[in-house]
Amino acid sequence: MCQSKQCKVEGCENKKKARGLCNKHYTRFSRYGTHKLLHEVVSVKGKPCEVNGCKETQKAKGLCNYHYFEEWKRKKTKVCSINKCSSKEYTKGLCQNHYMRQRDEKIEKLEKLG
């Protein structure tokens, strides 16, 4: 008896990987318990980037690769939480200068107690 090497999902021509499903459908099954889509996939293929004047095609969230990455960087970049300081956040909401100053003050207090 000849068994098919093709994914058992109707219309899929990919090679099967496990449980008779291809990699895409098996991954979806293991994550969500079904190989079917949970929501409609909207194709943005060929649509232009939503940024005025940009003629590149959309890749994610209505933006081309360049504008999506710029938006991601902008959202990720945070500034120091100390009033009137516009330096980039280093850690714990503070820039490197304010963080080191705060850390050194704590060390001084500990040394005085010791």
User: Can you tell me the distance from the alpha carbon of 29 to that of 65, in angstroms, rounded to the nearest whole number?
Assistant: 29
CB-based contact 35:29 (threshold 8 Å): yes
Q: Judge if 33 and 50 occupy the same domain.
A: no
* 40: exposed, middle or buried (Cβ count in 10 Å: 0-12, 13-18, 19+): exposed
- At 41, the pLDDT band (50, 70, 90 cuts) reads low
Same structural domain, 69 and 82: no
Instruction: Report pLDDT digits (tens) over 81-114.
Output: 888 898 988 888 889 999 999 888 877 777 776 5
Has residue 1 got a pLDDT over 70?
Answer: no
84, 65: one domain = no
Between CA 4 and CA 45 the distance in angstroms is 32
Position 88 scores a pLDDT of: 85
Q: Are 56 and 64 in contact (CB under 8 A)?
A: yes
Look over the chain and give the mean of its residue pLDDT values, rounded to a whole number: 83
Asked if the model's pLDDT at residue 52 lies above 70, the reply is yes
Say if residue 6 is in the same domain as residue 32: yes
pTM above 0.85, yes or no: no
Which of 9-13, 51-55, 107-111 shows the lowest per-residue confidence on average (mean pLDDT)? 107-111
**Which of 25-29, 38-42, 93-97 has the weakest average pLDDT?**
38-42
Number of domains in the chain: 3
Range of the domain at 63: 44-77
